[in-house]
Amino acid sequence: MGILWLLWAASAGANMLPPRAAGEVQARALAPGLAGLSGGGLGGRLSVRYAMRDRLMAGSSAVSNPSGERVETLSFAAVGDWEFVPRWTAVAVVPYSSNRFRSAAGDVDVRGVGDVTFLVRWAALKRPGAEWGLVAGVKAPTGAVDAASGGRVLPSTQQPGTGTADFIAAASGAVERGPTLVYGSAAYKYNTKDSYTFGNQLSADLGATWGAARAFRLSAELGLEASERDHAIERAPGVAPDGSVRDTGGWSLSATPGLEWSPSRDWTLAASVRLPVCQYLNGVQLAAGPTFALETRVRFRRR
């Protein structure tokens, strides 16, 4: 099947760390796996994910959740890529999310288009059975930051957008031998400063797929994510004198098994579940649970 599938496999699961903004597509959902863009022509993907967080953690320990805090997220993403010249590929990612935030004060529903991300990838090495490349991009502040409930503007962490232009850099590669494909990647996301600044993020993954039977492939991936604490200008409970927000940031390790079916060379259907293995969260935060994903991928090649 080739290694171009990797762009999609890398974003099959949602992020394990608490979301930086309700509709944001994270660095990890974008940059890992871009070495897989070796098919040329035009490619597209549509994906849907469901995740629920209802367990509070302090550090690596579970704590009680007497108020029943919970966040349910149903998210969609449309991704397009175009190899406009040999070895150079442009990518655009448009996210949409529907979130329900539950707390002692009641439920809040937030829906909308998130921040759109634009990426460019250069294939430094591109040969049969092996490829690696470098990626750079920007997340544009296209998502709304003024969503309100009950006449009150919601906090930054519940908005569809972040209100800032943020920058992404990544490297990734893959090697294919017979029915087995092994890949790895690392990405860094730098968030520009605002009245509320989300913490910068670092992510890495290592995974493999195996052609189990005709038209079917099994996949498995380990993903590591780390995020700095957010910073706020406004002094409020939970904000330290240096502006760092207590209940933000941390790290997580996850595992993602999956299954793909390709009825043709250029069309694939995939399903996966992203499972938290271990995580450490600063302060007290809602921990990640399983994230379920379905997606379809197509490619239109040059004749």
Count the domains in the chain: 1
**1 within domain boundaries:** no
Domain that holds residue 202: 6-300
**271 within domain boundaries:** yes
**173 within domain boundaries:** yes
CATH of the domain at 268: 2.40.128.130
CA proximity to 131, closest of 244, 289, 5: 5
Question: Residue ranges of the chain with pLDDT lower than 50?
Answer: 1-15, 22-38
For the segment 180-227, what is each residue's pLDDT rounded down to a tens digit? Answer: 999 999 999 999 988 899 999 999 999 999 987 788 999 999 999 999
**181 within domain boundaries:** yes
Tell me how far apart the alpha carbons of residues 274 and 204 are, in angstroms, rounded to a whole number. Answer: 15
**123 within domain boundaries:** yes
Tell me the sheet residues that pair with 89: 121
Q: Global pTM?
A: 0.85
Predicted confidence at residue 75, as pLDDT, reads 94
CA proximity to 116, closest of 53, 23, 203, 51: 23
* 77 and 18 Cβ atoms separated by less than 8 Å: no
Average pLDDT, the chain: 85
